[in-house]
Amino acid sequence: MTLDNIQSRLPDSRWRVQLLEEVTSTNTLLKELGRQGAPHGTVLIADRQTGGRGRLGRTFFSPGGVGMYFSALIRPDCAPGELMHLTCAVAVAMCDAVEQAFGFRPQIKWTNDLVVGKRKLGGILTELSLDRQQVGFAVIGVGINCNQLELDFDESIRPMACSARMILGERVERSVLAAEMVKSLEAMDLSDREAMLRRYRSDCMTLGQRVSIHRGEEIRHATALDIDSEGGLVVRCDSGDIATVTSGEVSVRGLYGYL
Ligand code: BTN
Protein backbone atom coordinates (compact mmCIF):
# COMPACT_ATOMS: atom_id res chain seq x y z
CA MET A 1 0.00 0.00 0.00
CA THR A 2 1.43 3.39 -0.99
CA LEU A 3 -0.06 6.88 -1.00
CA ASP A 4 0.57 7.14 -4.78
CA ASN A 5 -1.34 3.93 -5.41
CA ILE A 6 -4.27 5.21 -3.37
CA GLN A 7 -4.32 8.75 -4.79
CA SER A 8 -3.96 7.66 -8.43
CA ARG A 9 -7.29 5.85 -7.99
CA LEU A 10 -8.98 9.02 -6.69
CA PRO A 11 -8.58 11.58 -9.48
CA ASP A 12 -11.95 13.24 -8.75
CA SER A 13 -11.89 13.13 -4.96
CA ARG A 14 -11.85 16.28 -2.84
CA TRP A 15 -10.85 14.30 0.25
CA ARG A 16 -7.27 14.38 1.56
CA VAL A 17 -5.59 11.09 2.45
CA GLN A 18 -2.54 10.69 4.70
CA LEU A 19 -0.75 7.35 5.04
CA LEU A 20 1.20 6.72 8.24
CA GLU A 21 3.44 3.82 9.17
CA GLU A 22 2.49 3.42 12.83
CA VAL A 23 0.01 5.14 15.13
CA THR A 24 -1.62 4.21 18.42
CA SER A 25 -5.06 4.54 16.83
CA THR A 26 -6.09 6.39 13.66
CA ASN A 27 -9.36 7.34 15.41
CA THR A 28 -7.56 8.84 18.42
CA LEU A 29 -5.14 10.81 16.24
CA LEU A 30 -7.88 12.05 13.90
CA LYS A 31 -10.04 13.20 16.82
CA GLU A 32 -7.06 15.27 17.99
CA LEU A 33 -6.64 16.70 14.46
CA GLY A 34 -10.39 17.40 14.42
CA ARG A 35 -10.10 19.43 17.63
CA GLN A 36 -7.31 21.38 15.93
CA GLY A 37 -9.62 22.14 12.97
CA ALA A 38 -8.88 19.42 10.38
CA PRO A 39 -11.37 19.84 7.52
CA HIS A 40 -14.23 17.60 6.34
CA GLY A 41 -12.79 14.76 4.27
CA THR A 42 -9.51 14.31 6.18
CA VAL A 43 -8.53 10.63 6.00
CA LEU A 44 -5.83 8.84 8.02
CA ILE A 45 -4.69 5.35 7.09
CA ALA A 46 -2.04 3.47 9.06
CA ASP A 47 -0.02 0.41 8.20
CA ARG A 48 -0.25 -0.69 11.86
CA GLN A 49 -1.79 0.46 15.12
CA THR A 50 -0.34 -0.15 18.57
CA GLY A 51 -3.60 0.74 20.37
CA GLY A 52 -6.39 0.00 17.88
CA ARG A 53 -9.80 0.34 19.53
CA GLY A 54 -13.14 -1.35 18.89
CA ARG A 55 -16.64 -0.81 20.25
CA LEU A 56 -17.46 -1.31 23.93
CA GLY A 57 -13.84 -0.60 24.93
CA ARG A 58 -12.48 -3.64 23.11
CA THR A 59 -9.03 -3.84 21.53
CA PHE A 60 -8.77 -4.04 17.72
CA PHE A 61 -5.67 -6.13 17.01
CA SER A 62 -3.82 -4.21 14.24
CA PRO A 63 -0.57 -5.85 13.07
CA GLY A 64 1.52 -4.26 10.30
CA GLY A 65 1.29 -5.03 6.58
CA VAL A 66 -1.93 -7.03 6.58
CA GLY A 67 -4.88 -4.91 7.65
CA MET A 68 -6.74 -1.74 6.68
CA TYR A 69 -6.80 0.76 9.55
CA PHE A 70 -8.74 3.73 8.24
CA SER A 71 -10.36 6.81 9.79
CA ALA A 72 -12.24 9.62 8.04
CA LEU A 73 -13.37 12.91 9.55
CA ILE A 74 -16.68 14.42 8.44
CA ARG A 75 -18.30 17.68 9.52
CA PRO A 76 -22.05 17.21 8.97
CA ASP A 77 -24.21 20.20 9.80
CA CYS A 78 -26.80 18.59 12.11
CA ALA A 79 -27.88 17.67 15.65
CA PRO A 80 -26.51 14.42 17.15
CA GLY A 81 -29.99 12.79 17.10
CA GLU A 82 -30.01 13.04 13.32
CA LEU A 83 -26.86 10.96 13.14
CA MET A 84 -28.07 7.84 14.93
CA HIS A 85 -28.06 6.12 11.59
CA LEU A 86 -24.48 7.14 10.69
CA THR A 87 -22.93 3.80 11.64
CA CYS A 88 -25.58 2.01 9.53
CA ALA A 89 -24.83 4.24 6.54
CA VAL A 90 -21.09 3.61 6.96
CA ALA A 91 -21.67 -0.16 7.14
CA VAL A 92 -23.54 -0.14 3.80
CA ALA A 93 -20.86 2.10 2.27
CA MET A 94 -18.16 -0.33 3.44
CA CYS A 95 -20.01 -3.31 1.91
CA ASP A 96 -20.04 -1.33 -1.36
CA ALA A 97 -16.31 -0.59 -1.03
CA VAL A 98 -15.31 -4.22 -0.37
CA GLU A 99 -17.50 -5.38 -3.25
CA GLN A 100 -15.97 -2.84 -5.65
CA ALA A 101 -12.41 -3.60 -4.53
CA PHE A 102 -12.49 -7.38 -4.13
CA GLY A 103 -15.63 -8.63 -5.93
CA PHE A 104 -17.47 -10.14 -2.95
CA ARG A 105 -20.04 -8.43 -0.73
CA PRO A 106 -19.84 -8.91 3.04
CA GLN A 107 -22.97 -8.93 5.19
CA ILE A 108 -23.56 -6.77 8.24
CA LYS A 109 -23.94 -8.16 11.74
CA TRP A 110 -26.00 -5.47 13.50
CA THR A 111 -24.80 -2.83 14.03
CA ASN A 112 -21.27 -2.46 12.91
CA ASP A 113 -19.52 -5.71 12.02
CA LEU A 114 -18.76 -6.80 8.47
CA VAL A 115 -19.02 -10.57 8.21
CA VAL A 116 -18.54 -13.27 5.62
CA GLY A 117 -20.06 -16.66 6.36
CA LYS A 118 -19.88 -16.90 10.12
CA ARG A 119 -16.68 -14.89 10.49
CA LYS A 120 -15.83 -11.23 11.09
CA LEU A 121 -14.05 -9.42 8.25
CA GLY A 122 -14.02 -5.99 9.87
CA GLY A 123 -15.64 -3.50 12.18
CA ILE A 124 -16.67 0.13 12.44
CA LEU A 125 -16.16 2.55 15.34
CA THR A 126 -17.88 5.92 14.84
CA GLU A 127 -17.12 8.67 17.36
CA LEU A 128 -18.88 12.06 17.56
CA SER A 129 -17.48 15.31 18.89
CA LEU A 130 -20.20 17.72 19.98
CA ASP A 131 -20.10 21.50 19.86
CA ARG A 132 -23.05 23.31 21.51
CA GLN A 133 -25.56 20.49 20.86
CA GLN A 134 -24.44 20.27 17.23
CA VAL A 135 -22.11 17.65 15.77
CA GLY A 136 -18.73 19.40 15.55
CA PHE A 137 -17.31 16.45 13.67
CA ALA A 138 -17.59 12.68 13.42
CA VAL A 139 -14.66 10.31 13.10
CA ILE A 140 -15.53 7.16 11.18
CA GLY A 141 -13.06 4.39 11.99
CA VAL A 142 -13.01 1.21 9.94
CA GLY A 143 -10.77 -1.83 10.33
CA ILE A 144 -10.83 -4.53 7.63
CA ASN A 145 -8.81 -7.75 7.61
CA CYS A 146 -7.05 -7.93 4.25
CA ASN A 147 -4.03 -10.24 4.00
CA GLN A 148 -4.10 -12.22 7.25
CA LEU A 149 -3.90 -15.99 7.12
CA GLU A 150 -5.85 -17.98 9.69
CA LEU A 151 -2.80 -18.43 11.96
CA ASP A 152 -2.10 -14.67 11.98
CA PHE A 153 -5.17 -14.11 14.18
CA ASP A 154 -4.85 -14.42 17.93
CA GLU A 155 -6.11 -17.81 19.12
CA SER A 156 -8.93 -16.12 21.02
CA ILE A 157 -10.54 -14.74 17.83
CA ARG A 158 -9.23 -17.23 15.24
CA PRO A 159 -12.41 -19.29 14.80
CA MET A 160 -14.47 -16.10 14.38
CA ALA A 161 -12.20 -14.02 12.09
CA CYS A 162 -11.51 -14.01 8.37
CA SER A 163 -9.66 -11.85 5.85
CA ALA A 164 -10.17 -10.99 2.17
CA ARG A 165 -7.17 -13.19 1.40
CA MET A 166 -8.74 -16.19 3.15
CA ILE A 167 -11.94 -15.67 1.15
CA LEU A 168 -10.30 -15.14 -2.25
CA GLY A 169 -7.35 -17.52 -1.84
CA GLU A 170 -4.86 -14.86 -2.90
CA ARG A 171 -3.25 -11.69 -1.55
CA VAL A 172 -5.19 -8.47 -2.09
CA GLU A 173 -3.96 -4.94 -2.79
CA ARG A 174 -4.88 -2.72 0.16
CA SER A 175 -4.53 0.50 -1.90
CA VAL A 176 -7.49 -0.59 -4.06
CA LEU A 177 -9.65 -1.05 -0.97
CA ALA A 178 -8.49 2.24 0.58
CA ALA A 179 -9.48 4.15 -2.56
CA GLU A 180 -12.90 2.45 -2.73
CA MET A 181 -13.51 3.25 0.95
CA VAL A 182 -12.80 6.94 0.31
CA LYS A 183 -15.08 6.94 -2.77
CA SER A 184 -17.95 5.22 -0.92
CA LEU A 185 -17.77 7.52 2.10
CA GLU A 186 -17.46 10.64 -0.03
CA ALA A 187 -20.58 9.57 -1.96
CA MET A 188 -22.52 8.63 1.20
CA ASP A 189 -25.87 10.48 1.34
CA LEU A 190 -27.02 10.89 4.95
CA SER A 191 -30.15 12.82 3.93
CA ASP A 192 -32.05 9.89 2.39
CA ARG A 193 -32.33 7.80 5.52
CA GLU A 194 -35.11 5.47 4.32
CA ALA A 195 -33.25 4.49 1.15
CA MET A 196 -30.11 3.80 3.19
CA LEU A 197 -32.04 1.74 5.77
CA ARG A 198 -33.60 -0.37 2.99
CA ARG A 199 -30.08 -1.21 1.80
CA TYR A 200 -28.94 -1.84 5.39
CA ARG A 201 -31.81 -4.29 6.01
CA SER A 202 -30.97 -6.16 2.84
CA ASP A 203 -27.28 -6.52 3.88
CA CYS A 204 -28.02 -7.28 7.56
CA MET A 205 -27.67 -10.99 8.37
CA THR A 206 -28.98 -10.48 11.93
CA LEU A 207 -32.61 -10.05 10.79
CA GLY A 208 -34.64 -13.21 11.28
CA GLN A 209 -31.93 -14.69 13.54
CA ARG A 210 -32.19 -15.87 17.12
CA VAL A 211 -30.04 -13.53 19.21
CA SER A 212 -28.93 -13.09 22.79
CA ILE A 213 -28.78 -9.53 24.10
CA HIS A 214 -26.05 -8.85 26.64
CA ARG A 215 -26.42 -5.75 28.83
CA GLY A 216 -23.93 -5.99 31.69
CA GLU A 217 -24.73 -9.23 33.52
CA GLU A 218 -28.22 -9.47 32.06
CA ILE A 219 -28.81 -11.75 29.06
CA ARG A 220 -32.11 -11.95 27.16
CA HIS A 221 -32.97 -14.26 24.31
CA ALA A 222 -34.96 -12.96 21.37
CA THR A 223 -35.62 -13.07 17.63
CA ALA A 224 -34.42 -10.11 15.53
CA LEU A 225 -37.32 -8.66 13.54
CA ASP A 226 -36.36 -5.33 11.98
CA ILE A 227 -34.16 -2.24 11.98
CA ASP A 228 -36.04 0.91 13.05
CA SER A 229 -35.61 4.38 11.55
CA GLU A 230 -32.82 5.21 14.06
CA GLY A 231 -30.84 2.08 13.24
CA GLY A 232 -32.07 0.28 16.41
CA LEU A 233 -32.68 -3.48 16.35
CA VAL A 234 -36.33 -4.43 16.91
CA VAL A 235 -36.61 -7.82 18.61
CA ARG A 236 -39.30 -10.14 19.92
CA CYS A 237 -38.11 -11.32 23.35
CA ASP A 238 -38.88 -14.89 24.34
CA SER A 239 -41.19 -13.38 26.98
CA GLY A 240 -43.32 -12.11 24.07
CA ASP A 241 -42.38 -8.42 24.53
CA ILE A 242 -41.32 -6.40 21.50
CA ALA A 243 -38.26 -4.26 22.33
CA THR A 244 -35.83 -2.02 20.49
CA VAL A 245 -32.15 -2.44 21.24
CA THR A 246 -29.79 0.47 20.61
CA SER A 247 -26.15 -0.17 19.95
CA GLY A 248 -24.63 1.87 22.84
CA GLU A 249 -23.67 -0.55 25.57
CA VAL A 250 -25.28 -3.70 24.27
CA SER A 251 -23.74 -6.60 22.45
CA VAL A 252 -25.92 -8.89 20.38
CA ARG A 253 -24.77 -12.40 19.60
CA GLY A 254 -26.21 -15.41 17.90
CA LEU A 255 -27.24 -18.11 20.34
CA TYR A 256 -24.32 -20.33 19.41
CA GLY A 257 -21.36 -17.90 19.60
CA TYR A 258 -20.37 -14.86 17.57
CA LEU A 259 -23.10 -15.17 14.92
C1 BTN B 1 -15.13 -3.06 16.22
O2 BTN B 1 -14.94 -4.12 15.61
O3 BTN B 1 -15.67 -3.01 17.35
C4 BTN B 1 -14.70 -1.79 15.57
C5 BTN B 1 -13.27 -1.84 15.10
C6 BTN B 1 -12.79 -0.53 14.51
C7 BTN B 1 -11.32 -0.57 14.22
C8 BTN B 1 -10.87 0.64 13.45
S9 BTN B 1 -9.22 0.44 12.82
C10 BTN B 1 -9.15 2.13 12.42
C11 BTN B 1 -9.81 2.89 13.56
N12 BTN B 1 -8.86 3.13 14.63
C13 BTN B 1 -9.19 2.50 15.75
O14 BTN B 1 -8.54 2.53 16.83
N15 BTN B 1 -10.32 1.80 15.58
C16 BTN B 1 -10.84 1.96 14.23
Burial of residue 75, with CB atoms counted within 10 A of its CB: 0-12 exposed, 13-18 middle, 19 or more buried: middle
Pocket around ligand 1 at a 6 A CB cut-off: 25-27, 49, 52-55, 58, 60, 69-71, 123-125, 141-143
Residue located nearest, by CA, to atom 11 of ligand 1: 141
Helix 86-102 with 174-187: angle, nearest 10 deg? 140
Q: Atom of ligand 1 at shortest distance to CA of 27? A: 12
- Report the separation in Å between the CA atom of 256 and the middle of ligand 1, taken as the mean of its atom positions: 25
Which helix or strand (DSSP H or E) is residue 46 part of?
strand 42-49
Q: State pLDDT tens for residues 242-254.
A: 999 987 546 676 6
Q: Which of 198, 201, 213 is nearest to 255 (CA)?
A: 213
Cβ atoms of 165 and 172 within 8 Å: the answer is: yes
CA distances from 242 to 116, 184, 201, 235 (A): 29, 34, 18, 6
Asked if residue 189 has pLDDT above 80, the reply is yes
- Say how far apart CA 257 and CA 156 lie, in whole Å: 13
Q: State pLDDT tens for residues 16-51.
A: 999 999 999 999 999 999 999 999 999 999 999 999
Q: State pLDDT tens for residues 71-82.
A: 999 998 888 787
- Say how far apart CA 147 and CA 66 lie, in whole Å: 5
Residues pairing with 236 in the sheet: 223, 242
Mean pLDDT of all residues in 194-220: 91
Task: Determine how many CB atoms are found less than 10 A away from the CB of residue 206.
Answer: 22
At 126 the three-state DSSP class reads: strand
- Report the separation in Å between the CA atom of 68 and the middle of ligand 1, taken as the mean of its atom positions: 10
Mean pLDDT of all residues in 115-124: 95
- Say how far apart CA 185 and CA 159 lie, in whole Å: 30
- Say how far apart CA 38 and CA 71 lie, in whole Å: 13
- Report the separation in Å between the CA atom of 199 and the middle of ligand 1, taken as the mean of its atom positions: 23
Burial code (b: 16+ CB inside 10 Å, e: under 16) for 147-181 equals bbeeebbeeeeeeebbbbbbbeeeebebbbbbbbb
- Report the separation in Å between the CA atom of 31 and the middle of ligand 1, taken as the mean of its atom positions: 13
DSSP secondary structure letters along 204-227: BTTTT-EEEEEETTEEEEEEEEEE
Per-residue pLDDT band for 256 (boundaries 50, 70, 90) equals very low
- Report the separation in Å between the CA atom of 142 and the middle of ligand 1, taken as the mean of its atom positions: 5
Mean pLDDT of all residues in 152-174: 96
Residue located nearest, by CA, to atom 16 of ligand 1: 141
- Report the separation in Å between the CA atom of 161 and the middle of ligand 1, taken as the mean of its atom positions: 14
Identify which of 20, 23, 27 to mutate to test ligand 1's pocket (most ligand atoms within 8 A of the CB): 27
Which pLDDT value is given to residue 127?
93
**33 phi and psi angles, rounded to 5 deg:** -65, -35
Q: Residue 20 contacts by C-beta under 8 Å, 6 or more apart in sequence? A: 26, 29, 44, 45, 46, 47
Identify which of 108, 125, 144, 157 to mutate to test ligand 1's pocket (most ligand atoms within 8 A of the CB): 125
- Say how far apart CA 160 and CA 46 lie, in whole Å: 24
- Say how far apart CA 245 and CA 238 lie, in whole Å: 14
Residue located nearest, by CA, to atom 7 of ligand 1: 143
- Report the separation in Å between the CA atom of 240 and the middle of ligand 1, taken as the mean of its atom positions: 35
Our measurement of the distance from residue 115's CA atom to the centroid of its chain's CA atoms, rounded to an integer in Å, reads 11
